């Protein structure tokens, strides 16, 4: 005998409620006789027995919500027995009910259900693609606190040109940075830098270690050496703003007993900068590159007999004042031919300063087994453009010679960029 099920009475109906039973289990029913009353979102109506028989198990209680198609009760024909069913099996025939009795029918439930079916249909079809998600994985430009408006093209150009967009002034509506602003942008001078400093690469732990040469490195080395001599040199020049450095020096020199030279600061600066780039504080060997666990800065000194480079050992751990004293003492010794081997050996990096001779810029030759040398030129007052105005700043050029076997262009450039921070923000040397 067919079960009495919750019928679909309207095209949007997904469930109905059992209001009350006119008959109970075991009662006789006739075809066409009302057996229970149901409530749908539109109407209340009686459900009739489709045939003569006996009402079997009543599966859905009064007040219970039942899905369309769900069994409400069975009708037994002559001679049929009730098959024991779980009392709460009011879901579609054969399923266990999982829905607890719920509140009165709510249109939102049908929406949820149809959303579920929609979800199924979509899963069948394909996962949705959000085409509004950005295709590029480039990080957003740095936010300096106020949102800088920029056109997509301007941002793209800034990325490609390596320009930091927060440094650019926008000429478009609402201060929007547009392509033209990027095109006509000149990299900022230090005075334009905000108080918040650009981040430096992390300081690395100093330790002596051997790095076995890879096949690639050997090959590069061999080829470079063949064309340029034993050490393949290349050169990088950077133009630093030393206005602040000179001002700081002036202030320090006002302290009794202190007489520093610009070079002293540079020694400390180069040493501190080497902590960020251990590969520059290194030596080339036949089998391995050695990264040194300590920083010893050699300083080129001119003597009547020629050039010698006394070494300030552990220059990164000495203050400018200490460096200053030590350099003076070493220079004296050098001039008087009183330097010991300990004084001039085992540098890990060398600087050479011809500023006193008014040399603006020069290239130095690497002092083996160093892999780099920094040539310092004279500091002088120069006109520069800041905020579209011409101002006078003290500028100084440095040229770094690099052993390409160990230090490539990017590494050298990174070192000079780090060094810039220490030179242009000389307060770092105090730390």
Partner 1 sequence: MTEITYRDAIRAAMMEEMDRDGNVLIMGEDIGVYEGTFRITAGMLKKYGSKRVIDTPIAEAGMAGTAVGMAMLGLRPIVEMMTMNFAIVAADQILNHAAKVRYFSGGQVDVPVVIRGPQGAGVQLSAQHSQTFESFYAHFPGLKVVAPATPADAKGLLKTSIRGRDPVIFLESAALYGMKGEVPDDADFTVPFGVSRVAREGSDVTIVSYSRMLQMSLIAAEKLSEEGIECEVIDLRTLRPLDLEPAYASVSKTHRCVVVQEQWKPFGAAAEIAASITETVFDELDAPVARVTGEDVPMPYARNLELLATPHEQHVIAAVKKVMYVNA
Partner 2 sequence: MAKAKEQASATIDPVAACAPEWTEILRQMILIRRFEEATEREFRKGKIGGYLHVYSGQEAVASGIITALKQGDIVFTGYRDHAHAIALGVEPRRVMAELFGKATGISKGKGGSMHLFDVEHGFYGGYGIVGGHLTLAAGAAYALRYRETERISVCYFGDGAMNIGSFHEAMNMAGLWGKSGMCPILFIIENNGYAMGTSVERHSALTDLSQRVRAYNIPTEKVDGQDVFAVRGVADRVVRQMRETGKPYCIEAITYRFSGHGAADILQPYRSKDEVEQHRHRDPIGILRNRLGEICGLTDGDVKEIEDWASGEVAAAVQFAEESAQPDPEELWNDVVAEHGPLRENESS
Between CA 306 and CA 319 the distance in angstroms is 29
Nearer to partner 1, 178 or 262 (CB): 178
Binding partner of residue 68 among partner 2, partner 1, none, CB under 5 to 8 Å per kind?
partner 2
Q: Which residues lie below 8 Å from residue 262, measured CB to CB, with a gap of 6+?
A: 242, 245, 246, 249, 355, 379
Binding partner of residue 151 among partner 1, partner 2, none, CB under 5 to 8 Å per kind?
partner 1
Given 78, 104, 129, 410, the residue binding partner 2 (CB under 8 A): 129
When asked if residue 10 is in the footprint of partner 2 (CB under 8 A), the reply is: yes
CB of 72 to partner 2, least distance (A): 12
Between CA 391 and CA 48 the distance in angstroms is 98
Given 103, 107, 108, 128, the residue binding partner 2 (CB under 8 A): 128
| 113-132 residues near partner 1, rule: CB under 8 A | 131-132
The count of other CB atoms within 10 Å of the CB of residue 244 is 17
When asked if residue 5 is in the footprint of partner 2 (CB under 8 A), the reply is: yes
Query: Of 100-108, 124-132, 230-238, 411-419, which segment contacts partner 2 by CB under 8 A?
Result: 124-132
Nearer to partner 2, 107 or 196 (CB): 107
Residue 406 half-sphere exposure toward CB, CA atoms < 13 A: 30
Nearer to partner 2, 37 or 294 (CB): 37
When asked if residue 177 is in the footprint of partner 2 (CB under 8 A), the reply is: no
When asked if residue 11 is in the footprint of partner 2 (CB under 8 A), the reply is: yes
Between CA 161 and CA 130 the distance in angstroms is 30
Binding partner of residue 275 among partner 2, partner 1, none, CB under 5 to 8 Å per kind?
none
CB of 133 to partner 1, least distance (A): 11
CB of 389 to partner 1, least distance (A): 24
Is there a catalytic annotation at residue 404?
yes
| 53-72 residues near partner 2, rule: CB under 8 A | 68-69
Binding partner of residue 26 among partner 2, partner 1, none, CB under 5 to 8 Å per kind?
none
CB of 140 to partner 1, least distance (A): 14
CB of 16 to partner 2, least distance (A): 11
Task: Draw the binding track, 153-172, toward partner 1 (x: CB under 8 A; -: no contact).
Answer: xxxx--------------xx
Nearer to partner 1, 184 or 251 (CB): 184
The contact set with partner 2 (CB under 8 A) reads 5, 7-11, 42-43, 45, 68-69, 124-129, 131
Question: Active-site residues: which are they?
Answer: 404
The contact set with partner 1 (CB under 8 A) reads 131-132, 136, 151-156, 171-172, 178-180
């Amino acid at each position: 005998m067919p079960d009495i099920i919750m019928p679909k009475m309207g095209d949007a109906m997904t469930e109905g409620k059992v209001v009350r039973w006119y008959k109970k289990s075991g009662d006789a029913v006739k075809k066409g006789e009302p057996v229970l009353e149901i409530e749908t979102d539109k109407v209340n109506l009686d459900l009739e027995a489709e045939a003569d028989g006996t009402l079997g198990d009543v599966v859905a209680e009064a007040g219970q919500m039942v899905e369309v198609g769900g069994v409400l009760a069975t009708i037994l024909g002559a001679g049929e027995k009730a098959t024991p069913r779980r009392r709460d099996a009011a879901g579609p025939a054969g399923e266990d009910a999982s829905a607890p009795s719920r509140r009165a029918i709510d249109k939102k439930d049908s929406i949820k259900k149809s959303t579920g079916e929609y979800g199924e249909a979509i899963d069948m079809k394909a996962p949705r693609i959000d085409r509004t998600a950005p295709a590029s994985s480039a990080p957003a430009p740095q936010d300096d606190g106020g949102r800088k408006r920029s056109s997509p093209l301007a941002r793209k150009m800034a990325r490609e040109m390596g320009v930091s967009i927060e440094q650019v002034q926008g000429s478009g509506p609402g201060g929007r940075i547009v392509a033209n602003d990027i095109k006509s942008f000149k990299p900022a001078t230090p005075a334009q830098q905000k108080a918040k400093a650009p981040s430096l690469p992390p300081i690395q732990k100093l330790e002596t270690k051997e790095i076995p040469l890879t096949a690639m490195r050997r090959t590069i080395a061999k080829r470079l050496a063949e064309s340029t001599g034993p050490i393949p040199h290349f050169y990088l020049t950077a133009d630093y703003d030393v206005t602040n450095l000179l001002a700081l020096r002036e202030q320090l020199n006002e302290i009794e007993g202190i007489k520093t030279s610009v070079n002293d600061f540079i020694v400390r600066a180069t040493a501190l900068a080497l902590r960020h780039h251990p590969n520059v504080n290194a030596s080339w060997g036949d089998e391995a590159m050695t990264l040194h666990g300590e920083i010893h800065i050699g300083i080129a000194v001119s003597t009547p007999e020629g050039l010698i480079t006394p070494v300030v050992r552990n220059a990164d751990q000495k203050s400018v004042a200490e460096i200053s004293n030590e350099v003076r003492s070493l220079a004296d010794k050098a001039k008087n031919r009183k330097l010991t081997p300990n004084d001039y050996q085992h540098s890990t990096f060398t600087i050479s300063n011809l500023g006193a001779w008014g040399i603006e810029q020069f290239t130095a030759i690497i002092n083996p087994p160093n892999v780099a040398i920094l040539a310092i030129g004279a500091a002088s007052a120069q006109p520069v453009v800041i905020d579209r105005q011409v101002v006078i700043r003290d500028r100084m050029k440095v040229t770094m010679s690099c052993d390409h076997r160990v230090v490539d262009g990017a590494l050298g450039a990174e070192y000079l960029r780090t060094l810039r921070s220490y030179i242009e923000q000389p307060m770092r040397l105090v730390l």
